[in-house]
Structure 1
Amino acid sequence: MNFGTVSTARNNDASANLTISCQGVPGVQVTVCIFVNEGVPAGMAPRRMGNNAGAFMAYDLYANAARTQLIGPVGRNYDIFYTFLSLSITGSAQFNLSVYGRVPPGQNLPAAYRYENAMSQGFLRYVFAAPLAGASSGENCRDGVAYPFASAGQSVFDFGGAQARVADNCVISLASDLDFGTVTQLDASRDATALIKLRCATDTDWLVTLSIGLNPTVNGFRQMAYNGNFLGYALYKDPAFLFPWGDTQVNGVAGSGENEDVTLTVYGRVFPQPVSVPGTYSDTVTVTLTY
């Protein structure tokens, strides 16, 4: 059962088919029931997949497409996954049973490595009814008990397990304006801050860079513009204004996701400089989140 790449924000569904063949007296009713053990790593309600790095993904197996009836191991207190069929005039029948899987949302799942639940042992139990008798109950099938003149048995099979991946995923939820306010002259530096808020899947490496803006840089500094006039300013990663924040891996801000909100502060400074034309000076800086 391959869930593919799952999302932590929604249900992730998959299914697998079991092909079952039966032989016996033509016309006889057969009750068939299925059980699947926990596999490795162990766990029930929910089952678990592991990524060999200490993280686990919860999932479950169900008998119905609505995913309300769990499939459990033999001898555990779960509803019985069973069905009836009649053998044809040739004394045989072949049919498919679907097993439905679901990975629920809301899990804190590192994106590194594939998640797997190793091959689980499955049990197919069956009860052939006595001639001219109706089908046996699900409880008879579960217990492997046949009525007089009937027969019961079981077959062991390997359920191929389950696997899934978690996509590297990041999103920016906030990028606020950097407002230096109103001044009458710039005979001293003018400082301001802005916030960037992001969230990344656990173990997803990320990098935030800031573009140079819409205007040509001068001596490496960005510029705000108004009617063809410019004011120089700079953006920094630290409150001491020592480390410029740029548009490359070297001068960006990097981290690793923990599936929690991360808030970054942008420190801006307008330098002392002459202002020949009063007005509202502005620039647009693009925030890029790479992961």
Structure 2
Amino acid sequence: MLRSIALLLVLLLPSLCAAQSCSFTATDMNFGAVDTLSGTPVNSTSTINVSCSGGVLDLGKRLLICPNIGAGSGGASSSAARQMVNGASSLNYQLYSDSGRSLIWGSSTWSYPSRAPAYALTMALLNGSLVGATGSMTVYGSALGSPPTAAPGGYTSNFTSPDTSFYYSYSSATSCASPSGTVGTASFSVNASVAANCLVNVQNVDFGTQGVLRTNVDATGSITATCTPGTTYTISLNGGTASAAPTARKMSKGTETVTYGLYKDTNRSQPWGDANTPGSTVAGSGTGAGQLLTVYGRVPPQTTPSPGIYEDTVVVTLTY
């Protein structure tokens, strides 16, 4: 009788299946001080770092990353403006994928047209033995210097999941219009500050061409004060080149002069001066919009000097 037996040989090998795992970190974006009255944009950047690992069969494969960035906790007023917030006040800014700040960095999960940029890495040997890929993406930001109604203070928008849904998969696609795959995330914040600030503009007082100064000659000018909301200010007018009292300022031509006064009211009863004349300055509180203040001028009856052009320079000081 013949008997036989089978010998089962088993060899256990590590898995060679294709797989990948990516982790992400992001740095905060800080714009610093933003001047909302001049409307001048302030630029800053953030960096998204990515580190991926895989198996032997992943070597040489193209990894597509779609780093969606949504509206953040501050929201977005439109596709053109994300917002940082300070209480009920908002400050506009935007995130871009290019240094020229023309391509808005969006998300496949928000309601606006802009999408995330496609970012590709190639899986390679790291440190001679591990298969993986590392890289970084720059997020370009611009605080838009608007709206002028933004109150002074610190502004923030925070980005966490799902505002940072970073899809990644092996793919030859070049667009992130409809990303798929595994989702990673990263947290970061966008910050800025608005300082109390004021701007001032003036329109001259021109009394025109006059003959004999036997009656009052009235004219007006204006001062426009534009201050951040809630910023209190005081406007004073000095005594001109003669350092005179508010109602005894002097326009001059050589050694000859014409006396005039500047006032806060249309009746020319409230002189407008500076700290040298208590109670003669004008106070206000900013709204973010220009506030027009009329300067009432008067040349009273007086001895008429020789014909010519008589001028004076008054310094307008806005203190806040």
TM-score range, shorter chain: 0.7 to 0.9
Matching residue of 1:4:
32
**CA positional deviation for 1:75:** 7.2
Matching residue of 1:21:
51
Please state if 1:61 is matched with 2:95: yes
How does the TM-score come out when normalised to structure 1?
A: 0.78
Q: Secondary structure at the match of 1:81?
A: coil
CA–CA distance in structure 1, aligned partners of residues 176 and 263 of structure 2:
70
Matching residue of 1:213:
240
Q: Which amino acid aligns with 1:47?
A: R
Matching residue of 1:182:
210
* Count of paired positions: 274
What does the per-residue CA deviation read over 1:122-159, in whole Å, with 9 as the maximum and x for residues that have no partner?
233222x4xxxx74665698221xxxxxxxx332321x
CA–CA distance in structure 1, aligned partners of residues 108 and 230 of structure 2:
34
CA–CA distance in structure 2, aligned partners of residues 218 and 75 of structure 1:
63
CA–CA distance in structure 2, aligned partners of residues 104 and 75 of structure 1:
21
Instruction: Assess, with a 3 A threshold, how the Cα gap between structure 1 residues 17 and 180 changes in structure 2: closer, same or farther.
Output: same
Unaligned runs of 5+ in 2: 1-28
How does the TM-score come out when normalised to structure 2?
A: 0.71
**CA positional deviation for 1:212:** 0.4
Unaligned runs of 5+ in 1: 145-152
1:47 to 60, 66, 82: 82
Matching residue of 1:33:
66
CA–CA distance in structure 1, aligned partners of residues 175 and 289 of structure 2:
47
Which of these two proteins has the greater Rg computed from alpha carbons?
A: 2
Judge which range, 67-76 or 9-18, deviates more: 67-76
CA–CA distance in structure 1, aligned partners of residues 247 and 218 of structure 2:
18
Please state if 1:98 is matched with 2:138: yes
Listed as ranges, the matches of 1:212-291 within 5 Å are 212-217=239-244, 221-248=248-275, 250-275=279-304, 277-280=305-308, 281-291=310-320
What does the per-residue CA deviation read over 1:220-275, in whole Å, with 9 as the maximum and x for residues that have no partner?
73233344344433211011222211123952222233343332221122334445
> Contact (CA 8 Å) 2:60, 2:122: kept in 1 or not?
yes
Q: Secondary structure at the match of 1:70?
A: coil
Instruction: Assess, with a 3 A threshold, how the Cα gap between structure 1 residues 218 and 106 changes in structure 2: closer, same or farther.
Output: closer
Q: Secondary structure at the match of 1:89?
A: strand
> Contact (CA 8 Å) 1:60, 1:101: kept in 2 or not?
yes
> Contact (CA 8 Å) 1:125, 1:141: kept in 2 or not?
no
CA–CA distance in structure 2, aligned partners of residues 139 and 96 of structure 1:
17
Q: Which amino acid aligns with 1:143?
A: S
Instruction: Assess, with a 3 A threshold, how the Cα gap between structure 1 residues 11 and 223 changes in structure 2: closer, same or farther.
Output: closer
Q: Secondary structure at the match of 2:296?
A: strand
2:119 to 78, 83, 100: 83
Instruction: Assess, with a 3 A threshold, how the Cα gap between structure 1 residues 28 and 212 changes in structure 2: closer, same or farther.
Output: same
1:143 to 180, 186, 189: 180
